[in-house]
Chain A
Amino acid sequence: MAQVGNFALILALVVSVYSAVASAVGAQRYDPRLLASAKNALLAATGLISLSVASLLFLLLSHDFGAVYVYQYTSRDLSFPYLISALWAGNSGSLLFWAWLVSLFALVVTIQKRTANRELLPYASSVMMITQAFFLILLVFVTGPFARQTAVPPDGMGLNPMLENPGMILHPPALLAGYVALTVPFAFAIAALLERRLEGWLPTVRRWALFAWLLLGVGNLIGAWWAYVELGWGGYWAWDPVENAGLMPWLVATAFLHSAMMQRRQGMLKVWNMSLIILAFVLAIFGTFLTRSGILSSVHTFGESSMGPFFVVFLGITLVGSFGLIYRRRELLKSETEIESLVSRESTFLLNNWLLVAATFAILLGTMFPLISEVVWRTRIALDASFFNQVGVPLFLAIILLSGLCTLIGWRRASPGSLARNYVLPFLAALVVVVVLMVAGMRQWYAIVGFSILSFVLLAILYDWLRGTRARRRMRRENYFSALWGLVMANRPRYGGYIVHLGILLIALGVTGSSVFATEKEATLKPGEQMTINRYVLTFNGLGYFQTPSREVVTASLSLASGGRPLSEMTAEKYFHRTYEQPVTEVAIRSTPLEDVYVILAGWEADQTTTFSVLVNPLVSWIWFGGAVLVLGGLLAFWPGGTPRTPPEDAEEAAK
């Protein structure tokens, strides 16, 4: 089975290279037979890589520990879902998964019923096949998942215990699929440049870019949730290099989704859009590189490898090639219109785009700083979270504020009168929030600014919905509910976007609350003793111990009470895995909409004297709830249809 899997990879590499070349040559010579052959080669590559994935799955599920990969990442007692997740848990497996996803997406792009931009398909599939061939080269020549060892051990080393968490089944594939999905818009952008068809390619890739954006968002959120419940240090985001690697393409994709709207409507920002999508793709490859090369130490580093130079060469070729192509097509990429007024939705979009890209570069600089400092000053200096917070928080607040401002501005221009009328209500709301918070005794000005911006934007969005609903109700004589429903359904991309904004607001609410107002306390307790934190009283009941085939687990049970009223029983754990030396922490969390009580079992003595680290994290649940809202809005915008395609009827016509 292993030989077949490996052979399929080699064959897939040959076929992908053939497909890339045949597509490009076929497109240049307008040779439909060569193009048909290239398409078949693409389909064959998808089949071959799928065969390879199937044989790796077979090895994993049949516990064939003669295969090094199976030995390193699984064991006999691993349950079925984690055996599947071992497919992307290791280096070579995750690269195989990457290549497989590229081939699947290329397949979908090829067989999709396409009404527009058919001419772009050959070049686009050529670009996708080149990307696929790059990953196949790594798999065939550098790190194959099918390597075998002569001695067959009775059991494997098992999955890294920290990865045994439901979040880890979803987080890597979501994030990887997001990275990979960025290949599609990138491929179409390059194809549009090569074919000199720079007008109509955007609608074709909008949904792919949105799909990638959604997957990256979901991947990052699940990753944050995993860090919160599994890593046991009390937070959800540490500005770890690989976390940043997942965030950066998401930010650039966010910028692209917004600026693409402006190109579609006004023919502006063509070079900018091209650059953004190239940047997003390069950052996706860079993210894979960071995760897999181990050049920067991170919670995600699962072993060093020799892939670095390959990635550097591929990234270099992509950057130089793409931007060179933009330069050669610069005449065709001129804007059709200029921004008419400084106070218009266009200018807020543009400003927001700059801020998103600025935030991305700040994060990139911070992430790469250890490498930069090593080259420049010969010492490796890592920037800690405070750098990212100081630079990132103001930028993100400004981005959120702008998203509220642009909601109430029309396209092209806004008259001062309508602006004042539109902003007065949200502005008053923000002012009320400031006053209430100050009166309530809050003095952390970061939080006050944050909360007032959030309430401004929230009101701006709700106010816009209210007015849209009212206008529709007047026009169609509907009741409020069906008018609102009709409003949203009639323009799903737009209102899906607003729902995403609401999700971002909720996430920002959670982040502000938990980063400004978290309290932490350490205590060493004997069984029966109590500790207090804020309004909570924790009583330590005693330690427990049990064993499973692969782990030894120590549990500490506590009772949580507040104001004399018992709230819940909590169990914090620490366990030792058979093959991994590091102990793994399982935190106990009691979550309410207001705040989380988060208990970490830090250590214990022979006489049951136990040390706990306890945190009260306000508003954290809103991050996960906001994430769900974000996904909902993204799906609404992603769902087919929903953009009006008929000329609008005027008010009287509609009323008849």
Chain B
Amino acid sequence: MTVFANILLTGLVIAFVLYPLFRRQPASEPDGRLQELRLKQATAYAMLNEIASDHEAGKLSEKDCRELETKYRQEADGILKEIDLLSGGDLSGEIEKGVRQLRRGKGRFCSQCGAPVKPGDRFCPQCGRSLAR
């Protein structure tokens, strides 16, 4: 009885383990680099959030806050560009979002140099002028 059970168990396990070897090639998995970039993007955004709250809570001076923010904003933008490249240069989503925001009156331009600024920007990414009104 036990011997029979053991033989049955062995047979089942062997069949289960070796079955994939005789199947057709499974579909390829999605690109891991893209996912890694998304993670890095999330980290950069988290850092930006933290800098804003640290500044708000008085742990970072205005100057440091500005410097760090520019740095991480650039990093996030770089990552975003790379993501767009990887995902086939499909920028239409971002652009549409920008247009929608402009229509709603949220999009702005720098009063000093005229460069477009994003709704989250505290300082102009081009010339660094403070955008706080």
Contact = CB atoms under 8 A, between A and B. Distances in A.
A410 B54 contact: yes
Nearest to B59: A410
Given A464-B57, A467-B57, A647-B76, A40 B32 contact: no
Interface in B17-72: 17-21, 23, 25-26, 28-30, 32, 35-36, 38-40, 42-43, 45-61, 64, 68
A422 B29 CA distance: 50
Interface in A412-456: 412-415, 417-418, 421-422
B20 A115 contact: no
Contacts of A325: none
A635 interface: no
A227 interface: no
A184 interface: no
A652 interface: yes
With most chain A CB atoms within 10 A of its CB, the pick from B6, B38, B132 is B6
Contact of A411 (B17, B30, B54): B54
A37 B20 contact: yes
B10 interface: yes
A33 interface: yes
Interface of B is mostly: helix
B130 to A, nearest CB: 11
Given A468-B53, A471-B53, A650-B121, A40 B61 contact: no
Given A117-B36, A265-B43, A11 B10 contact: yes
A3 B119 contact: no
A290 to B, nearest CB: 34
B59 A422 contact: yes
B91 interface: no
A408 B29 CA distance: 44
B46 A643 contact: yes
A118 interface: yes
A18 to B, nearest CB: 7
Contacts of B39: 116, 200, 203
Contact of B32 (A15, A44, A116): A116
Contacts of B2: 3-4, 7
A36 B22 CA distance: 11
B82 to A, nearest CB: 13
Nearest to A1: B2
Interface residues of A, number: 59
A199 interface: yes
Given A11-B10, A40-B19, A647-B45, A467 B38 contact: no
B26 A412 contact: no
Given A18-B17, A37-B17, A116-B35, A648 B119 contact: no
A652 B106 CA distance: 11
Interface of A is mostly: helix
A116 B120 contact: no
Contacts of B85: none
B105 to A, nearest CB: 11
A41 to B, nearest CB: 5
Contacts of A119: 32
A409 B36 CA distance: 29
B62 to A, nearest CB: 10
Interface in B84-133: 106, 118-122, 131-133
A199 B40 contact: yes
A378 interface: no
B17 A409 contact: no
A32 interface: yes
B28 to A, nearest CB: 7
Given A3-B2, A33-B21, A413-B64, A652 B133 contact: yes
Contacts of A33: 20-21, 23, 25-26
Interface string A639-655: 00001111111111100
Given A265-B47, A418-B61, A44 B17 contact: yes
A509 B2 CA distance: 59
A644 B46 contact: yes
Contacts of B54: 410-411
Contacts of B121: 650
A605 B23 CA distance: 79
Contact of B42 (A43, A645, A653): A645
A648 to B, nearest CB: 5
A435 to B, nearest CB: 28
A650 B120 contact: yes
A414 B58 CA distance: 10
A650 B16 contact: no
Contact of B57 (A43, A412, A471): A471
Interface string A119-144: 10000000000000000000000000
Contacts of A265: 43, 47
Contacts of B64: 410, 412-413, 415
Contacts of B53: 468, 471
5 contacts: A32-B28, A36-B23, A44-B16, A116-B32, A116-B36
User: Lowest 9 CB-CB distances: which A-B pairs, in order?
Assistant: A36-B20, A410-B59, A116-B35, A471-B56, A200-B36, A410-B54, A467-B57, A37-B20, A410-B60
Interface of A: 3-4, 7-8, 11, 15, 18, 32-34, 36-37, 39-41, 43-44, 48, 115-119, 197, 199-200, 203, 264-265, 408-415, 417-418, 421-422, 464, 467-468, 471, 475, 491, 494, 643-653
Interface of B: 2, 5-6, 9-10, 13, 16-21, 23, 25-26, 28-30, 32, 35-36, 38-40, 42-43, 45-61, 64, 68, 76, 106, 118-122, 131-133
